[in-house]
Structure 1
């Protein structure tokens, strides 16, 4: 039975005649629970009866736990929900840069959707980043429900208001919509030379992500896919994105308490199950990879010449930017050799654009959805993901199409070799089978 107690106010260390009421009830462990601050005895008793009814129904939430500050609970939640290192770093960045300045010292029970939606609209960042911050907050609040700190998550399932009528905080990144024509890919590959250029080719014609290509070990290159087909077997070479160490992750390390521990560059599992996959390799690329591995002395196919992993920023600065954007010629000076100048090929092109390029080629070729999603490492939406699967005919058609894109581009450039001055035969590409030039709509459609 709930009851109420008077709580006299104190002034200068002495009780006064003024008082409020404290609700009292018996908690599940048999100890008395309490909550102060009621103006009347009736209100205090009613609150206590409500707590006892919730206890009897098995849905009681301790009011003291509801008052825990969001920041304190978020830090415990981060410890209890370990993720891939890069994901942990991104979460801590969101918390420290956007969430904690507003919500760290707010009680869990005081967080409302109205206030969160108003806050995210005013964040000085891109809308997508604000969405990630809200999503992370919602996950933490769901954790508070699971930990019996809250009865419901006020953020769950809510659609945030998007900014309207104002200029975006940053201009839209045009490289989000880029893809590279095959002639550009080949020109980039030639300019960068056999080892680095092959990385560019492999990205554009297989869809490897940056981390997947940087982590590619020679043991996972040119394996063989073998499927029963027409009373015999369909076979083709593949690149395997290893489910255990298939991605090179680069991020700012954090310990369990969120303290920075320095740069981390290490192999990790792909970020989701779909990214661990076997990618069918077109014939021209399979031959180039085979010849590359004959002379490449290192275990990792696209590492630095000294055999260590590339940092993405270093690779981009040293190779992709000057090759795509062009560079000035330099004369010989003491301590530095001369270098030739380069005209721009496709300013702004990135390795991510080259991954987009592969999926664009697939779409151009009409690759069936079940195979296109599979090869790109994407999760296909809808029930068709369960009922439709790639067949050998689909695979053969895709490989023929990618081979055709390569051969037409070589013909358009009037090349017979990508690296005509390669110092070793092992770095030379295969000769063209059927050079073609697209000259009109009818041929393009064919």
Structure 2
């Protein structure tokens, strides 16, 4: 049974008559433990009795673990996780840039919603980043509950709303508010040439993610979809995104000393919905067929020297093509470059993927098919009960073909590349 004992204060090496009370209680392993700092004997005894009752009922939390610093437990939690590498990188960036500067040395038991909400309202990053940071803190504290460091997560179920208008002024990135009309896509593709430009056209008219396009292999291109339809068989060429090596991942990894290095390699698609066959309109299937006939290697879209594109290197190719550039005369070691007028400043690969989904909406593609082709989960019970039909697929492909042909006509072109 718990009991209390006096703890006399010491001043200048001598014991004084002033004292507080220390609670003594038995831990689950039968050893005695203590907790100091109580003002009266009864409060110390009551606290110790509460610990022993919690131990008997299997809900006890070690006070020493509850006082563990948030930063220390965060490292334990991060090592216990096994998400995709890019998810780990994103979490580490949120921790280092926003969370740990404020909370690293705070005891787990010292974190409460009032102070977290006040801290979040003071951040000057985008609202989405703020909410991501608070959500990550909540997941870590859920881990602390599961590890029996805390009895409850003080952030669980709390919703961060009404963030100050100061962060509303953070400008959206180009990929959040931009899409490209088909004419722009074709102009950009012509400027970038038949190889790099084909990656632009494929992204806009097939909706590939950047990592899916860069990791696209020849063996998964121009396969055939077959479905029963109208007394016969509906067929169309597809790009397949699946398997353990379906996408090219590029992200930072951290060693035990927290040193950062870059990882690049093939990984499975992130979600079940991302594993899909993307139907190709006739013009795009024809362009890809001609490209595959003349290419070498296993990957459809590669850098000039044949390897995978680095994101930064691809941006060096895409940015001047979309944003424009000044003329540069020929000089030693450099070729002559003509001036380019801007086509659509800020256009990037995600904006091109947005463009594809925008085209689908314009063409009234059935939502269940539009979600499937984009690699998204169709929400609600309809996502379970409804399925794309050949008729839906035909309507989508015919619509995309019309968009392409109309864009060519509006530009006065017979083909993308002369």
| Band the TM-score falls in, shorter-chain normalisation | over 0.9
Distance in 2 (CA, whole Å) between partners of 1:337 and 1:56 is 80
Q: Could you say which residue in structure 2 is the equivalent of 1:335?
A: 333
Q: Is the 8 A contact 1:117 1:161 kept in 2?
A: no
Structure 1 stretch displaced more, 5-14 or 373-382: 5-14
1:149 counterpart = 2:149 = yes
Q: Could you say which residue in structure 1 is the equivalent of 2:236?
A: 236
Distance in 2 (CA, whole Å) between partners of 1:411 and 1:393 is 27
CA-to-partner distance for each residue in 1:366-421, whole Å, 9 max, x for gaps? 1111111111111222221111111121111111111111111112222222112x
The 3 A distance-change label for structure 1 pair 112 and 370 is same
Q: Is the 8 A contact 1:252 1:260 kept in 2?
A: no
The 3 A distance-change label for structure 1 pair 330 and 397 is same
Q: Could you say which residue in structure 1 is the equivalent of 2:383?
A: 385
Distance in 2 (CA, whole Å) between partners of 1:167 and 1:277 is 37
Q: Could you say which residue in structure 2 is the equivalent of 1:32?
A: 32
1:200 counterpart = 2:210 = no
CA-to-partner distance for each residue in 1:79-109, whole Å, 9 max, x for gaps? 0012111111111111111111111111111
Cα offset, 1:174, TM superposition: 4.7
- Unaligned 5+ segments in structure 2 are none
The 3 A distance-change label for structure 1 pair 169 and 411 is closer
CA-to-partner distance for each residue in 1:189-241, whole Å, 9 max, x for gaps? 11111100100000000110111111111111111112222333222111111
Coordinate RMSD, CA, aligned: 1.6
Cα offset, 1:175, TM superposition: 4.3
Distance in 2 (CA, whole Å) between partners of 1:4 and 1:298 is 77
Distance in 2 (CA, whole Å) between partners of 1:401 and 1:71 is 54
Distance in 2 (CA, whole Å) between partners of 1:297 and 1:20 is 81
Distance in 1 (CA, whole Å) between partners of 2:223 and 2:129 is 39
Q: Could you say which residue in structure 2 is the equivalent of 1:301?
A: 300
Task: Report the 3-state secondary structure (helix = DSSP H, G, I; strand = E; otherwise coil) of the residue aligned with 2:115.
Answer: helix
CA-to-partner distance for each residue in 1:294-336, whole Å, 9 max, x for gaps? 1111211111122111111211122x11111222222233333
Q: Could you say which residue in structure 1 is the equivalent of 2:69?
A: 69
Cα offset, 1:358, TM superposition: 0.3
The 3 A distance-change label for structure 1 pair 120 and 276 is same
Q: Is the 8 A contact 2:239 2:278 kept in 1?
A: yes
Q: Could you say which residue in structure 2 is the equivalent of 1:104?
A: 104
CA-to-partner distance for each residue in 1:328-358, whole Å, 9 max, x for gaps? 2222333332222222211221111100000
Task: Report the 3-state secondary structure (helix = DSSP H, G, I; strand = E; otherwise coil) of the residue aligned with 1:226.
Answer: strand
Structure 1 segment 342-381 matched on structure 2, within 5 A: 342-381=340-379
Distance in 2 (CA, whole Å) between partners of 1:139 and 1:166 is 27
Distance in 2 (CA, whole Å) between partners of 1:311 and 1:169 is 31
Distance in 1 (CA, whole Å) between partners of 2:150 and 2:137 is 14
Structure 1 segment 214-293 matched on structure 2, within 5 A: 214-256=214-256, 259-293=258-292
Q: Could you say which residue in structure 2 is the equivalent of 1:177?
A: 177
Q: Could you say which residue in structure 2 is the equivalent of 1:139?
A: 139
Q: Could you say which residue in structure 1 is the equivalent of 2:393?
A: 395
Q: Is the 8 A contact 1:141 1:153 kept in 2?
A: yes
Q: Is the 8 A contact 1:121 1:161 kept in 2?
A: no
Cα offset, 1:134, TM superposition: 0.7
Task: Report the 3-state secondary structure (helix = DSSP H, G, I; strand = E; otherwise coil) of the residue aligned with 2:4.
Answer: strand
Cα offset, 1:17, TM superposition: 2.4
The 3 A distance-change label for structure 1 pair 47 and 21 is same
Q: Is the 8 A contact 1:200 1:354 kept in 2?
A: yes
Distance in 2 (CA, whole Å) between partners of 1:245 and 1:15 is 71
Task: Report how many residues are paired.
Answer: 418
Structure 1 stretch displaced more, 80-89 or 24-33: 24-33
Structure 1 stretch displaced more, 121-130 or 163-172: 163-172
Q: Is the 8 A contact 2:26 2:52 kept in 1?
A: yes
Distance in 2 (CA, whole Å) between partners of 1:337 and 1:172 is 36
Q: Is the 8 A contact 2:124 2:166 kept in 1?
A: no
Q: TM-score, normalised by structure 2?
A: 0.96
Distance in 1 (CA, whole Å) between partners of 2:151 and 2:184 is 57
Distance in 2 (CA, whole Å) between partners of 1:167 and 1:124 is 5
Q: Is the 8 A contact 2:174 2:348 kept in 1?
A: no
Distance in 2 (CA, whole Å) between partners of 1:409 and 1:169 is 36
